[in-house]
Amino acid sequence: MSESTHDPLASFPGFPRGWFVIQFSDELAPGEVKPLRYFGKDFVLFRTESGEPAILDAFCPHLGAHLGYGGKVKGDEIECPFHAWRFDGRGKCTAVPYATKVPPKAKIGAHHVVEKNGMIYLWHDRDGYGPDWEVPDLPEYDLAHYLEWNHSIIEIATHPREIVENLVDTGHFMPVHGTRAEKFRNEFRGHVGVQYNEGVAYPLGGGEDHYALTATYYGPAYMVVHMKGVLESIIINSHTPIEEGRLHLRFAVSLKHDGNIDRTSQFVAQYIDNLRRGYLQDVAIWENKVFRERPILCDGDGDIGALRRWYRQFYEPREPFERQAAE
């Protein structure tokens, strides 16, 4: 929902450019095939027998079968369930079992995908160009010092801009989350947007947690939060559009440990659950609000204007030299 405007980008139509989390690594086993739908399109995701993830457009160029339903991994390729044509991770048809040669035009659209930090990321650009930044490593994410990701996913009905605006919205912390933000500032540089935040949280499960965090968006949809409180944690907040107005919201927590933490303890489970429940307190608001192009703001609000100017870049066409560099 949005108000009318003369600015074609003001309401951020379509889908932004950037890296999007489409799976956690432990959700895709070697040889597994999954149908996906994101950005209003159908895809097939598979992991080769050697362990590499690949993502292609879903439908076989032969007679249109969806490779995500019945397709099989054969080595480093996927085999169509209809006539057993095979395609590699670049979308090239490598074999037709009953033909003497492969039709030269037998290709499927392939997409940039990377796996790191225990996640699988897909690059999306509606203009069809390659990545103009890389997914950052999380060098501190080491299972010798951090627990494996505790991750979850929900589908919600909203525009991703609503989620992103939390990066600057200092005024909502107490009414929505019961959190008193005592120090708060933002920084924007290139495709990176940062929130620095210190204060006191009053978790839903009771007690209080004096915290300091740095929350960093790398592009329009993937945020990494480093937080120090009662426990030290890395938190992942990411969202991936399914269709316009619908998206997958992913939340993951990894707690720092010294080798002695009991990952099965009730305290650890409750701490993670408090973080997740606190984050999801926004969902009912996101799903039922309107977007104000020209909101009436006060001096206690965060810099909504700076956030929207930063976020807009992911919807604007890139300049020709940027496109050439990314291809």
Q: Which CATH number applies to 18-124?
A: 2.102.10.10
- Which residues, given as ranges, of the chain have pLDDT below 50? 1-6, 8-9
pLDDT tens digits, 1-38: 444 444 544 578 899 999 999 999 999 999 999 999 99
- What confidence score (pLDDT) does residue 65 get? 98
Match 């206690």 to its residue by tokens: 300
Amino acid (1-letter code) at residue 286: W
Q: C-alpha distances in angstroms, 280 versus 145, 210, 222?
A: 27, 20, 16
Q: Please give the CATH topology (third level) of the domain spanning 150-312.
A: Naphthalene 1,2-dioxygenase Alpha Subunit; Chain A, domain 1 (3.90.380)
Sign of CA dihedral 113, 246, 164, 319: positive
Q: 30, 108, 43, 35: which is closest to 76 by C-alpha?
A: 30
| Count of residues in the chain | 327
> Hey, what are 66's tokens?
């969806």
What does the pLDDT read at residue 9? 47
The residues near 122 (Cβ < 8 Å, ≥ 6 apart) are 19, 20, 22, 38, 43, 55, 111, 112, 113, 240
User: Which pLDDT value is given to residue 72?
Assistant: 98
What are 235's strand-pairing partners? 225, 253
Digit-coded pLDDT (tens) for 138-170: 988 877 788 899 999 999 999 999 999 999 999
pLDDT at 140: 80
Domain(s) labelled CATH 2.102.10.10 in the chain stretch across: 18-124
pLDDT the model gives residue 5: 42
Predicted confidence at residue 267, as pLDDT, reads 78
